């Protein structure tokens, strides 16, 4: 995708502070962190929103969760816990139209919408 910010980050056209990278997935620190640790995990393949995940993407989505576990262990917030958020579309407040998983960690999160 030509004009996609996160595709540009994948291609290295826009710099990012990388946390993890493999052939399918990139994780990097959010430029405007909401918590002491705020990491974005994205598929390198352009998938616009959660609605656009296809059957063939199932493996990559599963792998993203394994990568999140790996990052949680390596960055040492596995035991304390964290929150994973996906914003989808207008009502979900999605600003960047390339599927991304927010990992929020490093403080006790109180602003729960559910639970």
Which residues of this chain interact with ligand 5GP, rule CB under 6 A? Answer: 5, 14, 16, 28, 30-32, 87, 93-96
Q: Residue 94's binding partner, choosing from Zn ion, ligand 5GP, none, with beta-carbon cut-off 5 to 8 A by kind?
A: ligand 5GP
Q: Residue 4's binding partner, choosing from ligand 5GP, Zn ion, none, with beta-carbon cut-off 5 to 8 A by kind?
A: Zn ion
Burial of 94 (0-12, 13-18, 19+ CB in 10 A): middle
For residue 58, what are the CA distances in angstroms to 23, 81, 97, 112? 16, 25, 19, 28
CB of 93 to ligand 5GP, least distance (A): 6
Q: Where are the alpha helices (DSSP H) in 1-115?
A: 5-11, 58-74, 89-92
Instruction: Catalogue the active-site residues.
Output: 100
Residue 60 touches Zn ion, criterion: CB under 5 A? no
């Amino acid at each position: 995708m030509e004009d996609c910010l996160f595709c540009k980050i994948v291609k290295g056209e826009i710099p990012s502070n990388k946390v993890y990278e493999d052939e399918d997935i990139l994780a990097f620190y959010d430029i405007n962190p909401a918590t002491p640790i705020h990491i974005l995990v994205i598929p390198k393949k352009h998938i616009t929103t959660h609605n656009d995940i296809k059957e063939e993407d199932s493996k990559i989505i599963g792998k993203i969760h394994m990568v999140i576990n790996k990052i949680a262990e390596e960055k040492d917030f596995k035991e304390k816990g964290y929150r994973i958020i996906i914003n989808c579309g207008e009502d979900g407040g999605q600003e960047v139209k390339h599927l991304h998983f927010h990992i929020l960690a490093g403080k006790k999160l109180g602003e729960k919408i559910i639970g």
